[in-house]
Structure 1
C-alpha cells in the first residue's frame, strides 16, 4: 500500500517532460487565503503539439480540470492547511506542475450591497461592495469580473462604481485580493435590461423656456422683468459630439433662475410618442438621466438642476437633482410633498471650465413613491437610496418631461453652460 501511495504521489507531483513549466499567478505559495480561491495559471511544454489541459489537485485529489493552456477559475477550499498542485498535461502524454502550500481561513469575504443577486438592472449597473480578510496586511484591491473577464479593478477594501453591461443575463463576480496572496469572491448574477433610450434631447425641437423670480419662483414667460436667458442649439465649437447646446442666464434680480423643459412622452411629445393607449408611462419604473455639462465659470454658478418627471392619473413624480454649488457645495434632491430641496452629503465636485459627466438613476415604486438611487459624477458613483412621496396633479396631466435649470447668484452675474449627449433611458 505504501509503495502504491508513493507511486501515486510521484505521478502527480513529478514534472514530465523535462522541458515544461506551470506559472501560477494566483494564489501565492505560502499565502493565507479565504475559502473562495482564485487560481490563475498558464502552462508550456516542449511537446510540439502543446498543452492539452490544466487542473488543480488539493491534497492529492483532482478538483478541477479544463482544456487549454491557461486557467482562471475560482475554487472553494475547506479551511485548514492544504498541499496544492497546479498541473498541465500535454498532447505527448507528459505532465508538469507547480506545488503550493496554502492556509485557508474562514474569516474574511466580500459583501455586495449593490446589485442584489438575480436582480434586474439597467445597462449602467451600480456596483458597491466591501471586503475583509484574515490577512494581517489587509485587502489590497477589489474588482468585478463579467462573464470571466475582469471589467473593473480598484485599490483598497471597498468599491463603488457604475459598469456598462450588455443586455441579457450576465454572470458577474465581485472579488477581493489581499496582501497575503489570497482572494475572496461573491458571485452576482444580474439580468440586464437594454431599456429604451431617448438620445440627444438637448438638440431636439420643442423646448419650453421660462424665467423664475424670487421669492415665489413661479414661471414667467419672456419678457420677464429682472431675469434674462437664452438657448442656442446645434453648436459645434467646443462640443463633445459636434452638436451641443449653449444655455445662458443673466438679468438684474439677484437669485433669479432660467428653466428649460421638454415634453418627451404623452401630451405635447417632441419624440412622436403620444402614448395614446397609455401603455408606456404606466410600465416605467426606472429612469436614468445622463448628460455632459460644461461649466464656464464655477465661481458664479449658484445651482445647476437636472430633472425627469412623470405625470399620470392625478399623480406627479418630480425627480430632481441639484448641484447646490454656492449654498453648501452638495447635491440636493427634490421633495415633492414639502416642495423643497433636501441636502445630501454628496459633494458637488464639478470641474471648472471643463466638461463634466453627470448621470443619476431613480426608481418609481409600485405605490408611486420616488426613490433616488444613485448619482455618478465624473466616474464616481454615490449611493443615495432616499425615498419621498409623490404629489397630486390635475387628473388630465399625462406625460414624461425633462428639465434643465440654471440659477443666478446674489449679484445675478451672467454665465453660460453647455449640454451635450443628454439622454433619458427608461424601463
Structure 2
C-alpha cells in the first residue's frame, strides 16, 4: 500500500520540473567539410518563463555573431583548417546553454619537386629537393619523404633538400607536406634506383700516402722533412664496424698536412676496376662519398678534407671539400680551375668522437663540376655550386677518393679513424 500511495506524489513532482534548455544546430552538420563562408542555423528553447533573450556564435572560442530571439541563421567566415563552432543561448533568467559542431575547411597546397624527376633513374642515396605552399595562414609545419609507404625522412618548414637512401629497382616515393591547420598534401614520384657502391674502402688495398708542406702543399714522399704520417688498417677500436683504419699526422712544421688517396677506378686500381678499355668512366656522372670519421681531439684539428677526383681524356675534375675548423669554422670547396679553396657559409659542425660525413657531387654533361650537398651527422647542407673542369697535361685515367688531415699552428700530433667508407657511382 505504501508504494501505491507514493506513486502519484512522485509523478506530480516530476511533472512539475521544468524542461531543460536546448540548442539545436541544423547547419552545419557535425564534422562537415565547409568552404570559407559557413552557414550557421540554430534554434533554442529554455525552461525560463521569461524566454530566450539572445543567441550567439563562437568560432574557436571567439564570439563572432549575436542576435536577439530564439533563432539565428547567418554566415560566418573561417580560415583553412579545423574549427569548432559553438552556438549559445542566453535566457532572461540568467542561464545559458550551448551546442557545438566541428567543421573543416580544407587547405589547398602545392608541392614542387625539383629532384628527382618522375620516372627517372637515380642512385642511392637519391637527392630529394622539393618545396611546398599552402593556403593555411599558419604556414607549412613540415615536409617528408615516403618510399613504398614507409616514412624515411622529415624536416620542419616548407623546403626539403636531403639525400634519401632507397632500395635498388623501382621505388614508389611520395613527397608530403603537413600544414599548421591540420591539412596535408602529397605528390608521388616514381624512380628506378641503380648505382654501384664500393664498400669499406678504408680497409681496401691501394692506398697512397704523401706529406704536404706549407705554403705550396705539393705532395712529398717519405721521408719528408718536417712532417710524418702513417695509417693502420684493421683496427677494432674505436670502430663502428670492427674494421676501422687509423690515420696519423705528426712532425714539426706548422700547418703541414698529410694526404691519403686511393684510385678506386681506373689505372692503379687494386680491386680489378682498372677500366682498361675506357668504357666505364665516360658513363659516370654521379658520385657519393660516405664515411664515419672518429676525431680524437677536435680542438687541435685544423681541418678534415674529403675529395672525389676524376681524370679522363685530358680533363681534370677535382671535387674537394674541407671542414676548415680552425680557420673560419666553415666548409670550403675546391675551385678546380683557380686551384684554391673557397669558403662557404656552411658551419663546420664536426666534433670529438664519431662523425658521419656524406659528400654528394655530379659531373655535368659539359664536364662542369656540381657540388650538390654535404651532410654532417644527419644534417643536410645544400651547396648547389658549379665549377668548371680543367685540362691536364697528364694522361692518367681514373678516379680517386682522398682523405686528408691538416695540422694546426704547432702541428700537434693528431690521430683519427675512418670506418664504413663507401663510394657510390652511377
- 1:103 partnered with 2:108: no
Moved more, 139-148 or 329-338: 139-148
The answer to whether the Cα contact below 8 Å between 1:33 and 1:180 also exists between their aligned partners in 2 is no
Q: Which residues of 2 match residues 181-330 of structure 1 at below 5 A?
A: 181-193=182-194, 195-330=195-330
Contact kept? 1:144, 1:175, Cα under 8 Å:
yes
Give per-residue Cα distances to partners, 1:186-227, cap 9 Å, x unaligned: 22222221x111111111222111111111111111111111
TM-score, with structure 1 as normaliser: 0.74
Q: CA offset at residue 101 of structure 1?
A: 5.1
> Would you say the 8 A contact 2:248–2:415 is kept in 1?
yes
Matches within 5 A, 1:56-75: none
Residues 151 and 31 (structure 1), Cα distance of their counterparts in 2 relative to 1, 3 Å cut: farther
Judging changes above 3 Å, is the alpha-carbon distance between structure 1 residues 381 and 280 closer, same or farther for their aligned structure 2 residues? same
Q: RMSD over aligned Cα, in angstroms?
A: 2.5
Compute the displacement of 1:391 (Å): 1.6
Query: 1:14 is matched with which residue?
Result: none
Deviates more, 1:127-136 or 1:290-299: 127-136
1:390-423 residue CA offsets vs partner (Å, 9 max, x unmatched): 1222352111111111111111111111000111
Q: Structure 2 CA distance, aligned partners of 1:150 and 1:29? A: 28
1:245 match: secondary structure: strand
Q: Once the 2 structures are TM-superposed, how far is the Cα of residue 181 of structure 1 from its aligned partner?
A: 2.2
CA distance in structure 2 between the partners assigned to 1:179 and 1:284 by the alignment: 42
Structure 2: gaps spanning 5 or more residues: 1-29, 37-79, 82-100
For 1:402, the equivalent position in structure 2 comes to: 401
- How far off is 1:175 after superposition? 1.2
CA distance in 1, matches of 2:344, 2:34: 41
Structure 1 residues 330 and 394, CA, compared in 2 at 3 Å: closer, same or farther? same
**Superposed CA offset, 1:378-400 (max 9, x none):** 11111111111112223521111
In structure 2, C-alpha distance between the alignment counterparts of 1:391 and 1:318, rounded to whole Å: 9
Question: Is contact 1:31–1:180 with CA below 8 Å preserved after alignment?
Answer: no
The answer to whether the aligner puts 1:153 opposite 2:161 as a matched pair is: no
CA distance in 2, matches of 1:228, 1:165: 41
Q: 1:181 to 1:32 in 2, by over 3 A?
A: farther
Kindly indicate whether the alpha-carbon contact (under 8 Å) linking 2:212 and 2:219 is maintained by their aligned counterparts in 1: yes
Query: What secondary structure sits across from 1:185 in the alignment?
Result: strand
Cα distance in structure 1, aligned partners of 2:389 and 2:186: 39
Task: Find the counterpart in structure 2 of residue 131 from structure 1.
Answer: 132
In structure 1, the gaps of 5 or more residues are 1-27, 35-79, 82-98
Compute the displacement of 1:109 (Å): 2.3
Distance 2:34 2:113 in 1: 22
Q: Aligned-pair distance for 1:100?
A: 8.5
> CA contact under 8 A between 2:34 and 2:103: conserved in structure 1?
no
**2:319–2:334: 8 Å Cα contact kept in structure 1?**
yes
What's the CA shift for 1:251?
A: 0.9
Return the index of the structure with the highest Cα Rg. Answer: 2
Q: Deviations over 1:50-106 (max 9, x none)?
A: xxxxxxxxxxxxxxxxxxxxxxxxxxxxxx99xxxxxxxxxxxxxxxxx98543454
8 A Cα contact 2:107 2:136, kept in partner: no
Secondary structure of residue in 2 paired with 1:202? helix
* Counterpart-to-counterpart distance in 2, 1:190 and 1:100: 40
The 8 Å contact of residues 176 and 185 in structure 2, kept in 1 or not, is answered as yes
* 1:22-47 CA distance string (max 9 Å, x none): xxxxxx9457799xxxxxxxxxxxxx
C-alpha distance in 2 between matches for 1:101 and 1:379: 39
**Where in structure 2 are the equivalents of 1:276-425 lying within 5 Å?**
276-352=276-352, 354-425=353-424
Aligned partner of residue 412 in structure 1, secondary structure: coil
**Which stretch shows the higher mean deviation, 222-231 or 129-138?**
129-138
Question: What is the CA–CA distance in structure 1 between the aligned matches of 2:367 and 2:162, rounded to whole Å?
Answer: 27
Deviation at 1:146, TM superposition (A): 1.7
CA contact (8 A) 2:202 2:244 kept: yes
Q: Give distance in 1, aligned partners of 2:396 and 2:34.
A: 62
The CA distance in 2 between the partners of 1:152 and 1:424, in whole Å, is 22
CA 1:407–1:174 in structure 2 vs 1: closer, same or farther (change >3 Å)? same
When residues 253 and 285 of structure 1 are mapped into structure 2, their CA distance, relative to the original with a 3 A threshold, is same
Q: Distance in 1 between matches of 2:410 and 2:166?
A: 45
CA 1:32 to 1:375, structure 2 compared with 1: closer, same or farther past 3 Å?
Answer: farther
Kept after mapping to 2: 8 A contact 1:161/1:379: no
Instruction: Report if the CA contact (8 A) 2:107-2:181 is conserved.
Output: no
Partner of 1:84: none
